[in-house]
Amino acid sequence: SIVILDFGSQFTRLIARRFRELGVYSVILPGSASLERILQEKPQGVVLSGGPSSVYDENAPKPAQGVLDLDVPILGICYGMQYLAHTAGGEVKRAGKREYGKAELSKYSGTLFAGVQGEFIAWMSHSDSVITLPQGYDVVAETIDTPVTAIENNETRRYGVQFHPEVVHTPKGTQVLLNFLEVCGVARDWTAEHIVEELIADVRAKVGTGKVLLGISGGVDSSTLALLLAKAVGEQLTAVFIDHGLLRLGEREQVEQALRPLGVNLVVVDASNEFLGALDGVSDPEEKRKIIGREFIRAFEREAREYGPFEFLAQGTLYPDVIESAGGEGAANIKSHHNVGGLPEDLAFKLVEPFRTLFKDEVREIARLLGLPDHIRLRHPFPGPGLAIRIIGAITREKINILQRVDDIFISGLREYDLYNQTAQALAVLTPIQSVGVMGDERTYSYTVALRAVTSADFMTAEWAFLPYEFLATISNRIVNHVHEINRVVYDITSKPPATIEWE
Ligand code: XMP
């Protein structure tokens, strides 16, 4: 593997991403990780990431003693390069101002740039610069502002780049990373097939003959995990899907049809009476969320006792959850415990989290290999509280039923017009607004429904989707013709921020 030591750059995760794309397994560890911890990963190469510090800062982060002496290639990026140069006896100059943005390399050569041709645009984000080389190093790239933009020592296999090869704004950066991997001599066999085999072997080794409990949400992560665990431990797995009565039309059946035939021991629990009873008359969004969270735990607990005892609880934790901060390992534990925090002590499980090292699109790839149908594999996210937060105000069975039918027309329409995969999320909201309309010769006084579709990379920000007018016209007609409780359809044209994606 390649070990990436994180010194706090916002791009550290992208380095891991690029290596994965090149078929190489890599691990991000905190910059301060002990030598012992690093050796556990059997590193064939080490990357020192960028970071906001200057090597002259009093608390400048440093790799543990011995890391720089490891007999493996080391690549320093930005701060990482300055650190390498500084500790090897070079000189780093504190610059008053920051160089930020694109720069063109005026010269490049050497091992890191092997095979690169033509102009090389590099993304810079630094204030300090290396001005005097340490012994044994050569300058292998320059820009007008930064004469020492890349350095290498082929004897000790130490390399440094001042720019960020991992970001898209350095279009030829992948070649630089690939050249480093070649020097490391690391196998490029980290493919989805390989990952699946390894994950299955790991789960078997960890679980033995123990029983495993898994909660199914209907989303891609938990569904894929169910398929993986079924392959690994078969009947030792009990997957519990709690139907709170706030799902989309046909969703429960879709999950059953996707998982049961592939060998998942699936328990479907209809808990709609409990959930809807507890939600009766509640209109405050946060109150709705609290009640639903509490009822989920209750229902899950009940099933755990019914089908248990279970030694293990499986969770679909992904790599981005694990490395949310530079905290690395510590952060991961907080998150895991947090996820099961609502369960009582006597249901003490050991956690199984096979996806802890994976990114979302790797999970999607594994899902494909395991046979998860595309309508689940490529599904938009759907919130845990379901339609409860899409019915403004108090929830009734009748309102759920209206919204399910509207939502189904909208979502099916998006699929039919090939727009589903062009939006990140789409939803319908049942508002409490009633307004006057005319149907045949009759005056109507019915509800308004709002449609919302957004594009988004990470759901932290989102743009409203520019759906074609023709499509919107068709959907609006279908809704008012088929759902008689609705006489007005509006389209939400607000981005996030200031609006959120959901209305509650
Ligand atoms: P907002 O509405 O905050 O939503 O822009 C961002 C993303 O989070 C989802 N969401 C939730 N997911 N429980 C969930 O599991 C919730 O309470 C919840 N609220 C919002 C939302 O669907 C969107 O993808």
The pLDDT > 90 percentage for the chain reads: 82
> What is the C-alpha separation between 111 and 209, in angstroms, rounded?
50
Cβ proximity of 77 and 164 under 8 Å: yes
Q: Whose CA is nearest to atom 22 of ligand 1?
A: 383
Cβ proximity of 44 and 182 under 8 Å: no
Q: What are the distances in angstroms from CA 415 to CA 99, 149, 364, 377, 411? A: 46, 48, 19, 14, 6
CB atoms within 10 A of CB 186: 23
- Answer whether 425 contacts ligand 1 (Cβ < 6 A): yes
> What is the C-alpha separation between 303 and 186, in angstroms, rounded?
46
Q: Whose CA is nearest to atom 14 of ligand 1?
A: 383
Q: Which CATH superfamily hosts domain 2-184?
A: Class I glutamine amidotransferase (GATase) domain (3.40.50.880)
**Pure H helices in 240-394:** 251-259, 272-279, 285-307, 319-322, 329-340, 360-370, 374-377
- For a mutational test of ligand 1's pocket, the pick from 295, 502, 504, i.e. the residue with the most ligand atoms closer than 8 A to its C-beta, is 502
Cα(360) to centroid of ligand 1, in Å?
17
Q: Which atom of ligand 1 is nearest to the CA of 503?
A: 2
Q: Whose CA is nearest to atom 19 of ligand 1?
A: 383
Joined tokens for residue 268: 């479907």
For Cα atoms 130, 89, 170, give the angle at the middle one, nearest 5 degrees: 30
Considering the chain, what is the average pLDDT of its residues?
Answer: 92
> Which of the four pLDDT bands, split at 50, 70 and 90, describes residue 343?
low
Q: Which atom of ligand 1 is nearest to the CA of 382?
A: 22
- Answer whether 381 contacts ligand 1 (Cβ < 6 A): yes
Q: Whose CA is nearest to atom 20 of ligand 1?
A: 383
Strand partners, 384: none
- Answer whether 73 contacts ligand 1 (Cβ < 6 A): no
Q: Which atom of ligand 1 is nearest to the CA of 427?
A: 22
Integer-rounded Cα Rg, in Å, for the chain is 27
> What is the C-alpha separation between 116 and 108, in angstroms, rounded?
9
Q: Whose CA is nearest to atom 21 of ligand 1?
A: 383
- Answer whether 383 contacts ligand 1 (Cβ < 6 A): yes
CB atoms within 10 A of CB 239: 25
> What is the C-alpha separation between 4 and 63, in angstroms, rounded?
11
> Which residues are known catalytic residues?
78, 164, 166
Q: Whose CA is nearest to atom 12 of ligand 1?
A: 383
- Answer whether 274 contacts ligand 1 (Cβ < 6 A): no
> What is the C-alpha separation between 181 and 4, in angstroms, rounded?
13
Joined tokens for residue 381: 């996210």
Cβ proximity of 355 and 337 under 8 Å: no
Cα(382) to centroid of ligand 1, in Å?
8
> Residue 94's pLDDT is what?
84
Q: Can you give the residue ranges of every domain in the chain?
A: 2-184, 193-377, 386-491
Joined tokens for residue 497: 């921020």
Cβ proximity of 93 and 129 under 8 Å: yes
- Answer whether 478 contacts ligand 1 (Cβ < 6 A): no
Annotation: CATH topology of 193-377: Rossmann fold (3.40.50)
| Three-state secondary structure call for residue 99 | strand
Annotated binding site for ATP: 217-223
Are both 2-184 and 386-491 of the same fold? no
Cβ proximity of 324 and 331 under 8 Å: yes
In sequence order, what DSSP letters do the residues of 373-435 get, joined into one string?
-HHHHTPPP--TTGGGGGB-SS--HHHHHHHHHHHHHHHHHHHHTT-GGGSSEEEEEEEEEEE
- Answer whether 328 contacts ligand 1 (Cβ < 6 A): no
Measured in whole angstroms, the distance separating CA 415 from the mean position of its chain's CA atoms is 24
> What is the C-alpha separation between 268 and 405, in angstroms, rounded?
22
Measured in whole angstroms, the distance separating CA 193 from the mean position of its chain's CA atoms is 20
Q: Whose CA is nearest to atom 3 of ligand 1?
A: 500
Residue 336 has pLDDT above 50, yes or no: no
- Answer whether 461 contacts ligand 1 (Cβ < 6 A): no
The candidate with the shortest Cα–Cα distance to 301, out of 240, 378, 236, 253, is 240
- Answer whether 285 contacts ligand 1 (Cβ < 6 A): no
Joined tokens for residue 145: 């502002």
For the full predicted model, state whether its pTM sits above 0.95: no
Cβ proximity of 427 and 452 under 8 Å: yes
Cα(185) to centroid of ligand 1, in Å?
43
> What is the C-alpha separation between 224 and 243, in angstroms, rounded?
19
Cα(357) to centroid of ligand 1, in Å?
24
CB atoms within 10 A of CB 72: 18
- Answer whether 501 contacts ligand 1 (Cβ < 6 A): yes
**Strands 425-439 and 266-270, bridge-based pairing:** unpaired
Going by C-beta distance under 8 Å and a sequence separation of 6 or more, which residues neighbour residue 327? 30
> Model confidence over 209-267: pLDDT tens digits?
999 999 999 889 999 999 999 999 999 999 999 999 999 999 999 999 999 999 999 99
Least confident of 250-259, 345-354, 397-406: 345-354
Residue 97 has pLDDT above 80, yes or no: no
> Model confidence over 109-166: pLDDT tens digits?
999 999 999 999 999 998 899 999 999 999 999 999 899 999 999 999 999 999 999 9
> Residue 342's pLDDT is what?
61
Cα(223) to centroid of ligand 1, in Å?
19
> What is the C-alpha separation between 77 and 304, in angstroms, rounded?
48
> Model confidence over 313-332: pLDDT tens digits?
999 988 777 754 334 433 33
Residue 175 has pLDDT above 70, yes or no: yes
> What is the C-alpha separation between 63 and 61, in angstroms, rounded?
7
Cβ proximity of 482 and 409 under 8 Å: yes
Cβ proximity of 204 and 302 under 8 Å: no
> Which of the four pLDDT bands, split at 50, 70 and 90, describes residue 189?
confident
- Answer whether 218 contacts ligand 1 (Cβ < 6 A): no
Joined tokens for residue 421: 């995969």
Annotated binding site: 217-223
Cβ proximity of 155 and 144 under 8 Å: no
Q: Whose CA is nearest to atom 10 of ligand 1?
A: 383
Architecture of domain 386-491: 2-Layer Sandwich (3.30)
Amino acid (1-letter code) at residue 316:
G
Q: Which atom of ligand 1 is nearest to the CA of 384?
A: 15
